[in-house]
Structure 1
Amino acid sequence: MAATTWNLDKSHSGITFSVRHMMITNVRGSFNDFEAAVSADQDNLSALEATITIDAASINTKDEGRDGHLKSPDFFNVEQFPHIVFKKTALESAGGDDYKLTGDVSIAGVTKSITLNTEISGPAKDPWGNTKFGVVADGVINRSEFGLSWNAALETGGLLVGDAIKIHIELEFAQGN
């Protein structure tokens, strides 16, 4: 079977993250504007091609001041690096619908390889006859490895912002024409 182009269904997709704040809680956020390009043969998923492009300026943590700081040169520097890009380099079965998805992620001009625990569901027909499949991926990156190292010391010890960023991605795709 030949590779098929799959179109992102944005209304059923999301990219979220969380990071430790003041060593006592987590701040959660999302990216509101992103695209995903996928070409896959359902009988040979390891050969799939996938790229996710995120508009870094679309970050939303429900706090305009914090979002402005995250867009600044202290963090994402969105004027110089407007996109965060993930490009698949490997996909290995972990049994059933579970996979290890490895790719190169570029953030603020730094590219590193990361591996995400991934579940791929489908394909399945929706009630309107469209063929769909879903991807749920989770992982952790170290923000300082990407040069996002701004921080502030706390009076009680520790740092304001944690280094580990937990990533959660849920994407739904419809078979292209």
Structure 2
Amino acid sequence: MPLTARVRTRDGWPVAHAVVTLTDAAGRQVLRVEADAEGSVHDPAVLAPGAYTVIVTAVGHAPAAAGALVTDEAAGVQAGTVTLARQGGAELPPPGPWTVDPAHSTVAAVARHLGFSSVRGRFTDYSARFEVAADDVTASRVEAEIRAASIDTGNAARDTHLRSADFLDAGRHPSITYRSTGLTAAGPDRWTVHGDLTLRGIRRPVDLDLTHLGTGPDPWGGTRAAFRATAELRREDFAMHYNQVVQAGIAAVGTTLRVELDVQAVRGTSLPAG
């Protein structure tokens, strides 16, 4: 068993086609092997006893290196599991397409009311997809569409008013859309998503503060990832000027909205039943 290794991300996902290089004590390259689609390496070459350095590299990931000592030709180098971090130290789910599952996600907006309390609403009809880029994770893309008329605050009269031209103007502008323009790492599991939000037919740049909460298997045989994201919107940026002034000059509705997203996404382009 001369050289074996398993290359994984911090979340335990295989790093397909990572390259494992073995150098001797003089720094000369002795062996160079590409991992398979499951991130596994096995090369039968016989290695002479001595000290070696195992170097593992992969596009979009920071390299890793470790020392190895071969005392017996039959034993070789068993590198075990080598963990690679995303370039820059930030993690996202495995590359490829992902589809947001509305049944296990929440798209909410919070507004200040009377200057001292909050009113919370949520949208019940929306779809979203994103693509995690393999080589340069900052090139990942997000697209979402929300049906404006699906706003639900738990009060029918208020919801009707929110759908009117005073606020969402859902009759003339039935869709709210968001399309990303870039991604910036803000920490090991945090990102800033840069994008354009179109609301009431008006497009404005809006950044989302995104946290990756983890990735793992689901009960239906798929893979899921969870995220939390927030953003602040100014109503006037989208021509929502309606307000009432109550006593002491306090506005009935705050000038800003806080968007709160709790999202589950399924790996792939379709959603499972259940």
Q: 2:181 aligns with which of 82, 85, 89?
A: 89
Q: Which amino acid aligns with 1:132?
A: R
- For residue 71 of structure 1, what is the aligned residue in structure 2? 163
- For residue 242 of structure 2, what is the aligned residue in structure 1? 150
Distance 2:100 2:120 in 1: 23
Superposed displacement of residue 79, structure 1: 0.9
- For residue 6 of structure 1, what is the aligned residue in structure 2? 98
- For residue 34 of structure 1, what is the aligned residue in structure 2? 126
Superposed displacement of residue 128, structure 1: 4.3
- For residue 208 of structure 2, what is the aligned residue in structure 1? 116
Superposed displacement of residue 12, structure 1: 1.3
- For residue 105 of structure 1, what is the aligned residue in structure 2? 197
Root mean square deviation of aligned Cα: 1.8
Alignment gaps of 5+ in structure 1: none
Q: Which amino acid aligns with 2:99?
A: N
Cα offsets for 1:80-114 (capped at 9, x unmatched)? 10011111111100111101111100110111101
Superposed displacement of residue 43, structure 1: 5.8
Rg comparison, structure with higher value: 2
TM-score (norm. length: structure 2) = 0.61
Alignment gaps of 5+ in structure 2: 1-15, 17-93, 270-274
- For residue 125 of structure 1, what is the aligned residue in structure 2? 217
Alignment of 1:157-172 (within 5 A): 157-172=249-264
Q: Which amino acid aligns with 1:131?
A: T
Q: Indicate the structure with greater strand content.
A: 1
Larger RCO, structure (CA 8 Å, separation 6 or more)? 1
Q: Which amino acid aligns with 1:160?
A: A
* Residues 1:129 and 1:41: Cα distance change in structure 2 (over 3 Å): farther
- For residue 66 of structure 2, what is the aligned residue in structure 1? none
- For residue 55 of structure 1, what is the aligned residue in structure 2? 147
Distance 2:221 2:156 in 1: 41
Q: Report how many aligned residue pairs link the two structures.
A: 177
